[in-house]
Structure 1
Amino acid sequence: MKKIIVCTFLTMDGVMQGPGGPEEDTSGNFPWGGWGALHWDDVMNETMARHTAAPYDLLLGRHTYEIFAGYWPNHDDDPTGHLFNRINKYVAATTPVHLSWDGSILLEGNVAEAVKTLKAQDGPDLLVWGSGKLVQTLLKHQLVDIMHNWIFPVTLGTGKKLFTEGTQAQQWKLVSSVVSTTGVIVASYQPNGEVQTGTMS
């Protein structure tokens, strides 16, 4: 069975929109594209290398797929691009999407059921980048095995958020963490059952 591994860049107030550049995602007149670009350091490079070391295929929502498909095929000389261009790209979309990128496979029908079927198959794990709506669906149906949350020391007050009203109530176990020299916290979690409540007294 495949594992589903989610990797998300977040501000301190939970915004995940447009971390990489001004033109990455301008929907809703988002003015802060590129908020994560200037925080990168060697610690983050090393952490990213660990997160992407094992064999995997990509599992992407429509919007993230379109961003990646417009960029990575033109950057095959980059190690990440070289890998992305050769592995399978599974696309979960409820609206039409043009599968222009070699190795792209559309998951048809109900997204949760399609992902469950894919997850049950043999093969490399599935790495999810961005894809906020898809991640919400995966969380709702308890399909996420690992979450790598990269939390940047930025607050924006506006933009698409990963955790919105209706997020599945669930407890998580911290399995690793590291802090970059620029203050980015990379925290990796695994599901840890139902939420437990108590009293502080």
Structure 2
Amino acid sequence: MRTLVVAAFLSLDGVMQAPGGPDEDRDGGFQFGGWVAPHVDVAFGEAMGALFSRPFELLLGRRTYDIFAAHWPRVPADSEDAGLADLFNRTAKHVATHRPASLDWRNSHALGSDAVASVAALKAQDGPTLVTQGSSQLVRQLLAANLVDELRLLTFPIVLGAGKRLFDADSYPAGFRLEYGAISQNGIVIARYARTGGVETGSFAID
């Protein structure tokens, strides 16, 4: 059975919308696209390298897929991102889409009409870890369906107010254990959480 890792960039108030550029996702009138770039530092790069250091396949929503497909195949061979580009170009991409015929990036595969059921079937197979990038709508569906085994969260020192968030009221109640935590030079909180089971409760009441 495969592990499903949700990897996300978050603001302090939990927004994950459009971290990479001004026009990445303007839904809802979002004005702060590209909010990650000013905070990038060495530890950020190391965290991303660790995420993709073991065999993986990508789970992507259609918007994120289109952004990636327009970028990674065009990265020059002498770029500092060439290694990651090669990884992304070679690995399988499983995409939630209503337009499967237009998936023209190498090694791209459409999830079925029920994306959550398709992901559950992928998880039941043997194979590399499944890793999400962006794809807020798909990720929230996976969280609601209790399919997420691990969270890799990079939380940036910024409050964005409105915007698409990682968690919503449909997220399945779950307990997680902090497996790794660090703070980068620019204030990014880097954390890896592993699923432990259900939510435990207690009481501070005096008997």
TM-score where L is the length of structure 2:
0.91
Q: RMSD of the TM alignment (CA)?
A: 1.4
**Contact residue 76 and residue 85 of structure 1 kept, 8 A:** no
Who is 1:96 aligned against?
A: 99
Aligned position for 1:24: 24
Paired position in structure 1 for 2:65:
65
Return 32-41 or 139-148, whichever deviates more: 139-148
Asked if the contact 1:91/1:104 (under 8 Å) is kept, the reply is yes
Q: Deviations over 1:146-180 (max 9, x none)?
A: 11011000001111111122222111111111110
In structure 1, the residue matched to 2:136 is 132
1:50 aligns with 2:53: no
Residue identity opposite 1:56 in structure 2: F
Taking the aligned partners of 2:40 and 2:66, their CA distance within structure 1 comes to 24
CA distance in 2, matches of 1:164, 1:142: 13
| Letter paired with 2:174 | Q
Q: What's the offset of the Cα at 1:37?
A: 0.5
- TM-superposed CA distance for 1:118, in Å, is 1.1
CA distance in 2, matches of 1:194, 1:176: 20
Structure 1 contact 76–82 (Cα < 8 Å) conserved:
no
Where does 1:52-201 land on structure 2 (aligned, <5 Å)?
A: 52-75=52-75, 77=77, 78-93=82-97, 95-96=98-99, 98-201=102-205
Q: Share of identical aligned residues, percent? A: 42
Distance in 2, matches of 1:64 and 1:48, equals 17
Q: CA deviation at 1:122?
A: 2.0
Q: 1:41 to 1:181 in 2, by over 3 A?
A: same
Q: TM-score, normalised by structure 1?
A: 0.94
Give the unaligned 5+ runs of structure 2: none
4+ aligned runs moved over 3 Å, structure 1: none
TM-fit CA distance, 1:76? 5.1
Aligned-partner residue type, residue 54 of structure 1: R
1:91 positional shift: 0.5
Segments of 5+ residues of structure 1 without an aligned counterpart are: none
